[in-house]
Homo-oligomer: A and B are copies of this chain.
Amino acid sequence: MARHLHLGAFIRPISIHTGAWRYPGAYADANFNLAHMRRFARALEAGKFDALFMADHLAVLNMPIEALKRSQTPTSFEPFTLLSALAMVTERIGLVATASTTFDEPFHIARRFASLDHLSAGRAGWNVVTTSNPDAALNFGREDHMEHGDRYRRAREFISVVKGLWDSWADDAFIRDQASGVFFDPERLHVLAHRGEFLSVRGPLNIARPPQGWPVIVQAGASEPGRQLAAESAEVVFAASSTLGDGKRFYADVKARMDVLGRPRDSLRILPGALVVVGETIEEARAKRDRLDSLVHYDSAVASLSIALGHDASGFDPDGPLPEIPDTNASKSGRQRVIDLAQREGLTVRQLAQRLGGYAGLAFVGTAQTIADEMEAWIDGEAADGFNVMFPYLPDGLDDVVHRVVPELQRRGRYRRDYEGTTLRDHLGLTRPANGFFAEGASA
């Protein structure tokens, strides 16, 4: 049987593309409008998505004000509050919140995810990040971001503390015997008493064990320690692979790390982020994408191009081809990718800049058929277990995926026609972890 694939939906920002809010017919406030968010979540649930995934940042994005003022990102809901609200207007779809191990406390994080998991009857996931935006430090009393290696060592310790706190209570600890007056069995309560390099946390957590045991652990770090952490503890990885070749290498790398650790490969799903632009014809889809890119202001666009090239591009002729660039000490591979992209697609400087200023990662642009073909190639080529779908604009870009791509994948036997279980673990085909301190059903 053909391998099934998994679909997550990237919803913060509600479109990754900086031109999205200007697209004809788009909701300009889609990123920060509860009625829209509710409609999107329900549409994704009708499309049987595994989860919706909310990225998160702890500072207004670190870009020049001229670019920032054109971006919808500074206004958005906070993940725990938004996803708790959406838990009440959906029934099956998973709810993945991003939370930082650098700028928060394990007691708070463990508790909020446990609470979200209870409120949603087992649909919570935690996208563990060490926080990519260094400006966040300034909002938390620090001068600089914590050093990269320290961030990941703290993250590893943090995750183990959070899991330990989730396991504070045996699943059957709460007896609630009205006759005897005993509410819980003290023998079924574990005090963590953790003391480590970065954290000291006594416990126990003041909430019962989550319905999923542990909410699903998601990770998106791309560096060497990021991949290693994923191999050790992630159950879903949001990959940033932008070509099939990259995807295969990343997939093989992370799964090989799991082999070394003795973790079954099947206990981790790798979902690259992908912008999906659907047309009736390939030409129509490309025209939509071009239109979208054209909505990126040239000032922001050229700033992105300059960063990618490691060379000031503001003097280039916008309507000419990319000129020769003298060598700099910027990342050579990054620059070469940009030059190759311009050549491959025959882009002018303006088009190239707008591509980079809009969204330059993996994109599937075509008909439902060609998109399904590409998705299948990634799945069968062991480059992905599914995708974290990004929408080009809202609401139409989302509805196109739900109403065209999903049915095509269903016809091909690649995607569920209905949810088979109720929890996010069920959707992802992941088992419920046993409590680290108590054997199941072995109540005293």
Which residues from B are CB-within-8-Å of A65?
A: 186
The stretch of A27-35, A304-312, A327-335, A432-440 in contact with B is: A27-35
Q: How far is the CB of A270 from chain B (nearest CB, A)?
A: 29
Complex contact B119–A82 (CB within 8 A): yes
| Interface 0/1 of A44-82, CB less than 8 Å to B | 000000000000011110000100111111111110111
Complex contact A59–B119 (CB within 8 A): no
Complex contact A57–B186 (CB within 8 A): no
The number of times this chain is found in the oligomer is 2
Which residues from B are CB-within-8-Å of A201?
A: 138-141
Complex contact A108–B115 (CB within 8 A): no
Which residues from B are CB-within-8-Å of A70?
A: 181-183
Which residues from B are CB-within-8-Å of A206?
A: 57-60, 73-76
Closest to A297 in B: B181
Complex contact B115–A77 (CB within 8 A): yes
Complex contact A107–B140 (CB within 8 A): yes
- Tell me, yes or no, whether A116 is within 8 Å of chain B by CB: yes
Q: How far is the CB of A168 from chain B (nearest CB, A)?
A: 9
Closest to A135 in B: B202
Task: Choose from B60, B104, B178 the contact partner of A108 (Cβ within 8 Å).
Answer: B104
- Tell me, yes or no, whether A87 is within 8 Å of chain B by CB: yes
Which of A28, A58, A118 has its CB near the most chain B CB atoms (within 10 A)? A118
Q: A34-B118, A65-B186 are in contact. Are A105 and B107 (CB under 8 A)?
A: no
Which residues from B are CB-within-8-Å of A185?
A: 69
> CA of A60 to CA of B202 in the docked complex: distance in angstroms?
11
Which of A105, A107, A182, A183 has its CB near the most chain B CB atoms (within 10 A)? A183
Which residues from B are CB-within-8-Å of A103?
A: 105
Closest to A296 in B: B181
- Tell me, yes or no, whether A225 is within 8 Å of chain B by CB: no
Q: A69-B185, A207-B75 are in contact. Are A116 and B81 (CB under 8 A)?
A: yes
> CA of A320 to CA of B112 in the docked complex: distance in angstroms?
47
- Tell me, yes or no, whether A415 is within 8 Å of chain B by CB: no
Q: How far is the CB of A443 from chain B (nearest CB, A)?
A: 14
Which residues from B are CB-within-8-Å of A416?
A: none
Which residues from B are CB-within-8-Å of A118?
A: 32, 34, 77
Q: How far is the CB of A172 from chain B (nearest CB, A)?
A: 13
Closest to A106 in B: B139
> CA of A142 to CA of B202 in the docked complex: distance in angstroms?
10
Complex contact B186–A69 (CB within 8 A): yes
Which residues from B are CB-within-8-Å of A105?
A: 103-104, 140-141
- Tell me, yes or no, whether A342 is within 8 Å of chain B by CB: no
Task: Choose from B28, B60, B85, B139 the contact partner of A88 (Cβ within 8 Å).
Answer: B85
Closest to A133 in B: B206
Complex contact B28–A178 (CB within 8 A): yes
Which residues from B are CB-within-8-Å of A115?
A: 77-78, 81-82
| Interface 0/1 of A274-297, CB less than 8 Å to B | 000000000000000000000101
Closest to A79 in B: B115
4 tightest Cβ-Cβ pairs between the two chains A and B: A78-B115, A84-B84, A138-B202, A88-B88
Interface contacts beyond A21-B176, A73-B206, A74-B206: sample of 15 additional A-B pairs, CB < 8 Å, sorted by A: A21-B183, A26-B178, A29-B176, A58-B107, A69-B185, A69-B186, A77-B119, A77-B207, A78-B115, A82-B115, A85-B87, A105-B140, A107-B139, A138-B200, A138-B201
Q: What would 23 A/B residue contacts be, using CB atoms closer than 8 Å?
A: A32-B207, A58-B206, A59-B206, A65-B186, A69-B186, A72-B176, A72-B183, A74-B183, A75-B184, A76-B207, A77-B115, A77-B119, A78-B112, A78-B207, A80-B80, A81-B81, A81-B116, A85-B119, A105-B140, A138-B200, A139-B203, A141-B199, A141-B201
Binding site for B on A (CB under 8 A): 21-22, 26, 28-29, 32, 34, 57-60, 65, 68-78, 80-82, 84-85, 87-89, 103-105, 107-108, 111-112, 114-116, 118-119, 135, 138-142, 169, 174, 176, 178, 181-186, 189, 199-204, 206-208, 295, 297
